[in-house]
Structure 1
């Protein structure tokens, strides 16, 4: 599983880095999540400069794609030259978005009539794009998932792992990262959120 975490200037560190760290817990199983950006370096909303591991076009060949959020997402959503570089295929790929990244999914026509999650700031823009926003941290239908709230990145990672590697493998990876003293409860709560959206888990 090769995963592109789409990361643009003004990105939210929690979105990109939490998903990156959790998904790469499955390296031994052949998983590799990488930061994919439209330029060689991107600067986060708090001034952290990151060197891209992959180009934006890597998303087109990846097995899964995550759209992170950021303070400039609305401008990115209006940048057709940038979005035209993305040719995603939900028949082959898992595609997920967090917070304002949901707006990009809407602009790319990937949400169709499914409800979606986003953050409170982005909600009016997503609604304006014709998408029904639900008051929930996570929602998925088939190969498309959305999450709302910075720390909801853990749900996107958990969903991808459970959907492609099975719940047992996902639980093991999440258990390592979970807080000491509450690991079992933490993992159980995470998987409880994504389980209803996985029809036929692997493994």
Structure 2
């Protein structure tokens, strides 16, 4: 998601936060952090990335979970794939439907979450995305909410395949509209 939201540099500050100075991806890429996760508590928006191996370890670490004091009334919060497990553990998906990577759906359901087979699920100021390519939808939601539709389009313009921009714009628009329409529903009534 860094490669997507980082394309807008003058309108917001994007930082990679972690519990260590660097973290290694599942494929071995060492990534330097730009701050500690406690900074997320003061951020306007927080997006949790996936991590098939890292998320289960983080969820077992009480220091990791207890660091967060996120407030969906004041912040935009989102996750991609297994990042939804963090939102669930923090109690932020209570009475909210969510999505995750298809391979993680059953495990997230076992935590009590209502999991939908959708690429993007928006409930208030919380959005979850399922599947790596749905990061584009999550980032589009964030940019549009904070900066407007024009900035969202500007951010995604360079990512869209040559000759297919109109088709991809239509898919992105439809995904955002579908998720926004469904957002009026709540899991607990």
Structure 2 length-normalised TM: 0.89
**Matched pairs, number:** 180
Corresponding residue for residue 172 of structure 1: 154
RMSD value over aligned CA atoms? 1.5
Q: Distance in 1 between matches of 2:39 and 2:30?
A: 20
| Structure 2 residue ranges without an equivalent (≥5) | 182-189
Q: Distance in 1 between matches of 2:57 and 2:5?
A: 28
For residue 35 of structure 1, report the CA deviation from its aligned partner. 0.9
Q: Distance in 2 between matches of 1:72 and 1:176?
A: 30
For residue 81 of structure 1, report the CA deviation from its aligned partner. 1.8
Q: Distance in 2 between matches of 1:86 and 1:122?
A: 23
Q: Distance in 2 between matches of 1:156 and 1:193?
A: 10
Residue 155 of structure 1: which of 127, 137, 145 is its match?
A: 137
Corresponding residue for residue 10 of structure 1: none
Structure 1 length-normalised TM: 0.83
Residue 37 of structure 1: which of 6, 18, 29 is its match?
A: 18
For residue 198 of structure 1, report the CA deviation from its aligned partner. 4.4
Greater than 6 Å deviation, 4+ residue runs:
none
Corresponding residue for residue 13 of structure 1: none
1:54 counterpart = 2:31: no
| Structure 1 residue ranges without an equivalent (≥5) | 1-18
Corresponding residue for residue 185 of structure 2: none
Corresponding residue for residue 189 of structure 1: 171
SS across alignment from 1:32: coil
Q: Tell me if structure 1 keeps the 8 A contact 2:120–2:179.
A: no
